[in-house]
Structure 1
Amino acid sequence: MSDISETGSEPGSPTRNGAVTKSESQPSIVPSDREKKIQSIITRTIWTIIMIGIFFGAMFAGHIYIIIIVTAVQIISFKEVIAISNVPSRARSLRFTKTLNWYFLGTTMYFLYGESVIYYFKHIILVDRMLLPFATHHRFISFMLYVMGFMFFVGSLQKGHYKFQFTQFAWTHMALYLIVVQAHFVMNNIFEGMIWFFLPVSLVITNDIFAYICGMLFGRTQLIKLSPKKTVEGFIGGWIFTIFFGVLLTNLLMRYKYFICPVNDLGANVFTGLECDINPVFIKHTYRLPFIPPTWSHLPVTISVEPMQFHILVMATFASLIAPFGGFFASGLKRTFKVKDFGDSIPGHGGMTDRMDCQFIMGFFAFMYYQSFIAVYKASVGSVIETAITGLTPEQQMEVVKGLSKHLVNQGVINPKVLQYLGEQLKRR
């Protein structure tokens, strides 16, 4: 009796329909480790080029496109950080867990984006009848939205799942702080001027590249156990090269108003440019060198340089010596949950959070540093309008209008007939 079944299951034998089964002499082709590595490098390179193209295309197309990218990055990063926590199988059936996560994200973004838009575009929002109530009561509206989410969370608590639900509540708020709140300050950097966004991002990327190169060439001493491949030599080498790169890049960007001007037109792009009064930090100042002895007359005793060149030394140092700890924190987080990457949002690169772990804290620092040491505070049209609307009665506001109109007539800016017309119209009120 033959061992061959009626279906022709012997390796290499034909079946009734004529097909040939897989033979032991024809093993499946399994890619080797080398082939997998090459394929991974190719995929990583292709997506690196794509991301660089999208980034520079958006930056030159206008500030609004960069804002869209930052928004997408923070949403994807939030999703990845929320998903990294281990969710018990019996708790996955809870109906409102994910809904509450996204609700709190939406509420936080509404509050933070609203704060930025109101601050930078007061002169537009506060004179619009539809937007004025939302602007003047923005914080209260945001608070009530959060309270509604809080009440809904308490109402959704189910017996047997308390620990999981409260853990998720805390985890969500931590993700909101580490990602969404810090991304809010990155957004503000864009409004203050493209240089305050592009420069910190570039410094972190440059430091990452040169720290890797220096570590690969000279690395001998392990820097931190959370990231075994990081070395002291790479850490210091990356710092030195980042400072040189930062000085050169700053010298280039300072030449273009598109980068150094605050946003006053969201429709502007690299071709239309922007116009503004240049911040003194970008104007050359003459400094006397204190360490040149009077007897050394052949040496220059003064130097002319933009103050920004001194500030970039601080920013490059932060990007090299402190921002990497955002990456170390992310490494510790991944080790805690025993995952290699936060996700697979970017083929060949892992998750979005894996690429942004140092960027958020760097952007936060850039905003705080700019506001503390570089920003020039002066009255703006938006701040004056806000003061008039919120601090004066309608009658007082009309007096302000009359006073400003009379001043403009005296300066020859507007026709006296305009003042006469306004006077007649305001009397009717």
Structure 2
Amino acid sequence: MTKKSSVHFSNRERRKSQSSLDDMNDSGTMSNNNNNHRSPSRSSASRSSGAKSPTRSNGATTHRFDKQDRPGVDRTDTSASGWQTENEDDGDKPKELSDFEKKKQTFITRAIWTLVMIAIFFGSMFAGHIYVIIIVTAVQIISFKEVIAISNVPSRARSLRFTKTLNWYFLGSTMYFLYGESVIYYFKHIVLIDKVLLPFATHHRFISFMLYVMGFVFFVGSLQKGHYRFQFTQFAWTHMALYLIVVQAHFIMNNIFEGMIWFFLPVMLVITNDIFAYICGITFGRTQLIKLSPKKTVEGFVGAWVCTVIIGFGLTNLLMRSPYFICPVNDLGANIFTGLTCVPNPVFTPHTYSLPFIPHTFTLLPKTLTVSPMQFHIFIMSTFASLIAPFGGFFASGLKRTFNIKDFGDSIPGHGGMTDRMDCQFIMGFFAFMYYQSFIAVYKASVGSVIETAITGLTAEEQMEVVKGLAKHLYNQGEVGYQVVEYLGREFGTALKHR
């Protein structure tokens, strides 16, 4: 009989089952047996004695592997394959998080990134208008990328050429047109007197049109047989994204040029409405508002409107006191510390209004009300932010349901994509620009508009006459000396002789 060797297993080593060990020893003791097979029967003695280890018959020496034979190793259950499953080191296996832990981690992530976004928002706003413009541009590009990515998945599967390239080309040409329009409009006094920039400013719209036409021709040339329907769908999808995201974000940028308050107020009204819609909804919301967003309730919708109007009044009253917020941009290098100076728009000047509906018999009630017209305008803007702007979010929800996705992307950890956070902001910024231009803006001649009229509508000789006339006017007002008038007259006369 072969002597059984002592077997020791480490705590993390996989071990065979008891039956496998018995087979190994049986093969060792029966190596000289010509029959060389294992009996399927167990000895009656083993069954009667309740032995834990199976024994072999046919004359083979019976071996029993008890716990004493394997010091430090406990008997454990094994799987059907004979490998230990219960006494493994569970530290190597990832543990499933409970629902509470998952919600806790999500809440922490959302809270951290919410604070990060608030810090970036206020930091850029106080640092200056140019930094806010950079933030808006980044949001614009990221949102366009997220929306286009929804439809780009099938294009990669079909291996269609130039689909993504055309998307970005149309984005670039559209941004060139829109940004150029804003720069030329607000900085005519700089662009139109620069020798290099003047041709681009004068022919800006024609250049933009030709850029678009080049993309259009390239798209037609890239059409492939068998994919016409899909490619035209992509073309339409791209233009929808350009209109809903890029064009609306362009008007938000114009709001920044008109004054920081026209950018900050619409953004804060939407955020305020979103917060109070959630608070009012979970507090006393009962009636479902719209099926696209099952969690939205009528009570939360109306309650958020009331809260947004109240906070809008208070926030407007605070911002009107700062010239940095109410003055249009005349210096892109300005910040909250240097500030801006301007003649305030009349909408920020308090006016006294009589209250005709107060009877004279009520002597204790005031007969007049002193308030700035901006407080009436903010009521309209708060109402739009509460009752209309949320439909931008409903539109985004319907779009996500169409493609069966939860979020537009993962640009912001814990919040989904940038488009998920900006779906209401785009339409609100567009409305703020249109409302400002229609009811608040004061239209008067500016230095840029006068220079533009002189350059585009007058000859060089006529432009010189205008300059000499302005110089004489300034001399009569005591602003410049007579030497300036003499110098301009002499130099312009010399220039005209050499023409």
Correspondence 1:191 to 2:192: no
1:335 Cα shift? Answer: 0.3
Cα distance in 1 for residues equivalent to 2:211 and 2:203: 12
> Counterpart of 1:61?
127
1:398 pairs with 2:485: no
Distance 1:89 1:275, change over 3 A: closer
Among 303, 322, 327, the alignment partner of 1:237 is: 303
TM-score, length of structure 1 as denominator length: 0.94
Task: Identify the structure with bigger relative contact order (alpha carbons < 8 Å, sequence gap 6+).
Answer: 1
Please give the per-residue CA displacement for 1:208-250, whole angstroms capped at 9, x wherever unaligned: 0000000000010000000000000000010000001100000
Aligned residue among 441, 448, 464 for 1:375:
441
Runs of 5+ unmatched residues, structure 1: 1-7, 15-20
Q: Distance in 1 between matches of 2:468 and 2:110?
A: 64
| Alignment-derived partner of residue 181 in structure 1 | 247
Structure 2 letter corresponding to 1:349: H
The percentage of aligned residue pairs carrying the same residue is 80
The alpha carbon displacement at 1:299 in A equals 1.9
Counterpart residue number, 1:17:
none
1:11, 1:24 within 8 Å by CA — same for their partners in 2?
A: no
Q: Which of 320, 325, 339 is equivalent to 2:386?
A: 320
Q: Verify: 1:223 aligned to 2:224, yes or no.
A: no
Note the alpha carbon deviations across 1:17-61, whole angstroms, 9 max, x for none.
xxxx99544253121221111111101100000000010000000
- How many angstroms apart in 2 are the aligned matches of 1:22 and 1:256? 74
Report the CA distance shift for 1:304/1:173 in structure 2 as closer, same or farther (over 3 A): same
| Deviations, residues 118-148 of structure 1 (Å, cap 9, x unaligned) | 0000011011111011111100000000000
The aligned length equals: 416
Further displaced range: 263-272 or 415-424: 415-424
Give the conservation status (yes or no) of the 8 Å contact 2:327–2:344.
yes
Question: Are the aligned partners of 2:393 and 2:424 in contact in 1 as well (CA < 8 Å)?
Answer: yes
Q: Shift in Å at residue 95 of structure 1?
A: 2.2
Task: Give the 5 Å matches for 1:326-337.
Answer: 326-337=392-403
Does residue 115 of structure 1 match 2:178? Answer: no
Q: TM-score, normalised by structure 2?
A: 0.81
Paired with 2:178 and 2:424, the residues of 1 have a C-alpha distance of 21
CA separation of 1:417 and 1:89: change in aligned 2, threshold 3 A: closer
Contact 1:61 1:270 in 2 (8 A): yes
Q: Secondary structure at the match of 2:296?
A: strand
CA distance in 1, matches of 2:454, 2:251: 28
1:42 to 108, 117, 135: 108
Q: Which moved more, 1:253-262 or 1:87-96?
A: 87-96
Structure 1's 220 and 86: CA in aligned 2 closer, same or farther, altered over 3 A?
farther
Cα distance in 2 between the residues matched to 1:301 and 1:28: 73
Q: Pairwise mapping of residues 191-340 of structure 1 onto structure 2 (< 5 A)? A: 191-340=257-406
Structure 1 partner of 2:453 = 387
Q: Which runs of 4+ in 1 moved over 3 A?
A: 21-25, 89-92
SS in structure 2 of the partner of residue 230 of structure 1? strand
How far did residue 87 of structure 1 move?
A: 3.5
For 1:227 and 1:56, locate their aligned partners in 2 and report how far apart those are by CA, in whole Å. Answer: 30
* Structure 2 portions without partners, runs of 5+: 1-8, 16-82
Q: How many angstroms apart in 2 are the aligned matches of 1:165 and 1:414?
A: 65
- Max Rg structure: 2
Change (3 A) 1:395 1:346: same
